[in-house]
Amino acid sequence: MSGLFARNRLIGLALAALVAIVDQAVKAYIIGPLALRDVGRIDLLPFFDLTYTENRGISLGMLQATDMEMRWMLVATTALIALVVLVWMMREKAMGEIAGLALILGGALGNIRDRYDLGYVIDYADFHIGTFRPFLIFNIADAAITIGVVIILARSLFVRDKGETATGDVSHGET
């Protein structure tokens, strides 16, 4: 059974690497061939555009890195969080948790690379319904992190451990 757990962890590491690589490749395409940085905005669909944004903060634009010290503090903080997620992922056995954590890790690595290299995170995905924007402008890394968090939360709320009975009581072998 330990071979299965090792395989699941390797799949998790591969998924995290894939998310980070795809995120960086799309960002390179966005600022390279599409020149979105220069154009500013490309209308694609009635509900989705590409809009270039430099996010110098963290989630929801909080904790803006207005100077070099804050930039490196955000890099260090997010790197520490990514390390915690990696350790957590390597301790998990179930593929569901590993997949969710891998998405979070891969997204974090993509955004950390931006912040390390550029001092900000490149965001470009602009979903809207008319003038209503249910989300801030985001990127693939942000989407992966959000999906990973939803997976972890859903599994923690709705998936029972195998040691539990139908009523939710844990069997301890007592009669």
**Catalytic sites, residue numbers:** 123, 142
In 3-state terms the chain splits into helix, strand, coil percentages (rounded to 5) of 60, 15, 25
Contact between 19 and 144 (Cβ < 8 Å):
yes
Neighbours of 39 (CB within 10 A): 11
User: What is the spatial distance between Cα 78 and Cα 49, in angstroms, rounded to a whole number?
Assistant: 28
User: What is the spatial distance between Cα 109 and Cα 23, in angstroms, rounded to a whole number?
Assistant: 9
Beta partners for residue 129, in sequence order: 132
